[in-house]
Amino acid sequence: MAAMSKPNGVGGPGPQPASPHATIQHLRIARLPIQFWIPAVVALAVGVGALPWVIGDAQDFFYQAHVLALVHVFTLGWITAAMMGVMYRYVPALTKGRLRFPALAGVQLALFLAGVVGMVTGFAIGHWAATAIAAAVMTASVVLFAMNMLACLVPALGRGVAERGLALAVVFLLAAAVLGLVLALDKSFGLLGGSVLTNLASHAHLAALGWVTMTICAVSYRMLPAFLLPQTVLPPAAGWQLGTLAVAVVALSVSLLGGGGTGVWAGAIALNLLAYAWIVASMVRSRQMPIDWTVRHALAGACWLLAALALGATLAAVGGDGEWGNRVAGAYGAAGLLGWVSNLIVGMSYRLVPGLVLGARAVAGLPPLSPLDISCPRPRPLVFAAWNGGLALLAAGLLAGGLAPARVGASVLAAGGLTYAALTAWTLSFALRRAARRSARNPLRVLGDEAPG
């Protein structure tokens, strides 16, 4: 990815700082993305490992203790940690700035880890007071993250679509965290009126559409042209798509909280995301570079997005509280979080994670390596097939109400997810250890014979 590979004041080698204190701080900041990605792959492994066991609960009813815990292992532990890690490197590079409050970033990481572990444990044991305390810790972490990100993004709002999209996404994350905290407090103090399920849906859509989907759209508008086209050319429709998505997500969340009609806004979001899929498809059609596993995961993610839109429209029509609504809700969540979002993160990680690791090594003064030395591309077809094939079986099993196929699908998906997590952990380990070039140890290897993606 052209924009990410340039050294910058955060993760890349860049100019060496003068004082020892500045050197230590430079190294801490360069390691931050790695420190988010390590828990992210651990959470992914825990989540896919637990999935075959928790799937029976989800089939009974999606709103219960173990499902809430597993949802947040994926959404906070895996997805949000991976996105924060990338943003600590990417946002200062994109906005040509530096982190304004670097000392807060380490505190943010510590609060984030404590918040995730506390929330998942609180959900799993059904202890709402503990969940609310952990949610407050998580919200504090999100506030610190927003301070650093918005300090870079706000002065750069006039520069481009990606900057505006990412700033909106951070604001949506703040809103989702605050509403999540209020939902947890509501169980003890009765703060909210309305229905538990529509309040919950408001939080879930603020987070999944406002934070996660907005970030993915903004980042993919920046990265896909860089991966696929000789120049970074952004289609003009991209800005409209992000702006109207933001308006529709606010309107949908407010309608859900107020218990009012949501059909118009759900329809507007579906159309908006169809426009996104069309923009991405037109970039892929006009590509001048070969299709690799990054692009294959992005295409699979786009197909799952279409499936999630169809399931979301069905859910809006049938409602989430009956037996059929419960089946659709399970398949909708799986298609959205594991199909659409996770495919994009896995695919982009093949390009981004080696860059994060090499940047951290350079700042730490470790011997230089190439992306080939720290990537293991051979199992990628297996990861792709197991993840997407397993997920298709899981979603079909959830829809049909069949526990056996859903469990087999979850197990196949877990095999793909565990393989991916192990390979990514191996790549990340190079940020922390000395290692010689593989190519130097193997005289028969020809440098440049495999692309990172």
* Identity of the residue, 211 or 420, whose beta carbon is nearer to ligand HEM in the bound complex: 211
71 binds ligand HEM (CB under 6 A): yes
Sign of CA dihedral 188, 190, 196, 201: negative
Report the alpha-carbon distance of residue 44 to residue 177 in Å, rounded. Answer: 21
DSSP H or E segment with residue 365: none
Please name the amino acid found at residue 414: A
Tokens coding 44: 């992914």
The C-alpha atoms of residue 344 and residue 347 are separated, in whole angstroms, by 5
Work out whether the CA dihedral 18, 19, 25, 31 comes out positive or negative.
positive
Tell me the closest approach of the beta carbon of residue 440 to ligand HEM, in angstroms. Answer: 43
Q: Could you say whether residue 342 binds ligand HEM (CB under 6 A)?
A: no
Candidate list 183, 217, 363, 410; residue touching ligand HEM; CB under 6 A: 183
Q: In this chain, which residue has its C-beta nearest to ligand HEM?
A: 180
Span near ligand HEM by CB under 6 A; candidates 21-29, 89-97, 180-188, 402-410: 180-188
Asked if 138 touches ligand HEM (CB under 6 A), the answer is yes
Binding track, positions 226-265, relative to ligand HEM; x by CB under 6 A: ----------------------------------------
From residue 7, give the alpha-carbon distance in Å to each of 3, 15, 432. 9, 9, 19
Report which of 85, 151, 150 is spatially closest to residue 112, judged by C-alpha positions.
85
For residues 256 and 315, give the distance between their C-alpha atoms in angstroms, rounded to a whole number. Answer: 14
Determine if 315 is a binding residue for ligand HEM (CB under 6 A): no
Are the C-beta atoms of residues 183 and 200 closer than 8 Å to each other? yes
> What is the distance between the alpha carbons of residues 141 and 135, in angstroms, rounded to a whole number?
10
Total residues in contact with ligand HEM, by rule CB under 6 A = 29
In the complex with ligand HEM, the residue whose CB is nearer, 155 or 321, is 321
- Binding to ligand HEM by CB under 6 A, coded x per residue (else -) over 149-168, reads --------------------
Residue number, 397 or 452, with CB nearest to ligand HEM = 397
Per-residue CA distances from 261 to 169, 241, 251, 253, 255 (Å): 24, 23, 10, 11, 6
Q: Which is nearer to ligand HEM, 228 or 394 (CB)?
A: 394
Closest CB to ligand HEM among residues 142, 149: 142
Q: Please report whether residue 176 would count as binding ligand HEM according to CB under 6 A.
A: yes
Check binding of 78 to ligand HEM (CB under 6 A): no
Closest approach, Cβ 183 to ligand HEM, in A, equals 4
Q: Which of 120, 124, 135, 394 binds ligand HEM (CB under 6 A)?
A: 135
Provide the CB-side half-sphere exposure for 277 (13 A, CA). Answer: 18
Which stretch in 61-69, 274-282, 380-388, 406-414 sits in contact with ligand HEM by CB under 6 A?
Answer: 61-69
* Cα–Cα distance measured from residue 71 to residue 329, given in angstroms and rounded to the nearest whole number: 13
Give least dist CB 409 to ligand HEM, A: 19
What's the burial of 151, exposed, middle or buried (CB within 10 Å: 0-12/13-18/19+)?
middle
Shortest Cβ 202–ligand HEM spacing (Å): 10
Q: Which is closer to ligand HEM, CB of 95 or CB of 202? A: 202
- 77 is written with which tokens? 């532990």
Nearest approach, Cβ of residue 78 and ligand HEM (Å): 10
Cβ proximity to ligand HEM, 63 vs 240, nearer residue: 63
SS3 content of the chain, % helix, strand, coil (to 5): 80, 0, 20
177 binds ligand HEM (CB under 6 A): yes
Residues near ligand HEM (CB under 6 A) are 62-63, 67-68, 71-72, 75-76, 80, 131, 135, 138-139, 142, 176-177, 180-181, 183-184, 196, 199-200, 203-204, 207-208, 211-212
